[in-house]
Amino acid sequence: MMKNKLVNYRNMSVRLVHTPTGESLTFGDVITDHRGESTVVKNMRPPHKSSSVGFVNNFYASVYNCKYVEIDE
């Protein structure tokens, strides 16, 4: 099975991380927003510029207490 490759504005591969736990997240994972409502990761859009935090399910990644981190391949 091919993994979806996420790339940021610097053309670097990134992964979505739940900030408090450090757990990597991917499509289909259940996440909880800042209001305590759970949802499934359906859409991920890494930062498109240095001042962006990126998006998860069309909301800022920080709404779900997440961030995109660059990874070495």
pLDDT digits (tens, 9 = 90+) for 39-54: 999 999 999 999 999 9
pLDDT digits (tens, 9 = 90+) for 6-31: 999 999 999 999 999 999 999 999 99
Closest by CA position to 32, among listed 53, 2, 21, 47: 21
Residues 25 and 38 sit within 8 Å (Cβ to Cβ): no
* CA–CA distance, 5 with 33 (Å, rounded to integer): 24
pLDDT at position 5, please? Answer: 87
| Intra-chain end-to-end CA distance of the chain, in Å | 18
pLDDT at position 4, please? Answer: 65
Q: Between the CA of residue 62 and those of 21, 44, 55, 72, what are the distances in Å?
A: 14, 12, 8, 23
pLDDT value at 66 more than 50: yes
pTM for the predicted model, two decimal places? 0.88
- pLDDT (mean) for 33-43: 95
